[in-house]
Amino acid sequence: MARVAFVDQNLCIECGICVTNLPDVFHFSDNGKAECFDPNGAPEDEIQLQAIDLCPVNCISWK
């Protein structure tokens, strides 16, 4: 079973790193916080390197 990236919107500071780096996976929701709208939009290793590892507040994790 593939892992799914999850954004804790309570921690998200709306920096946009994940949205900019992986626009096929993340976007801003109506409340301005990032969310994973397509977990299959990029390979897991790319999500790890370009979003999870770069998030300044560590609000993105695997479920």
Question: In this predicted structure, what is the pLDDT of residue 1?
Answer: 58
Per residue in 21-61, pLDDT tens?
999 999 999 999 999 999 999 999 999 999 999 999 999 99
Q: Which CATH architecture has domain 5-62?
A: 2-Layer Sandwich (3.30)
Cβ-Cβ contacts under 8 Å for 9 (sequence gap 6 or more): 29, 31, 33, 34, 35, 59
DSSP reduced 3-state for 16: coil
Question: In this predicted structure, what is the pLDDT of residue 2?
Answer: 80
Q: How far apart are CA 11 and CA 6, in angstroms?
A: 12
pLDDT at 12 over 80: yes
The domain spans of the chain are 5-62
pLDDT at 14 over 90: yes
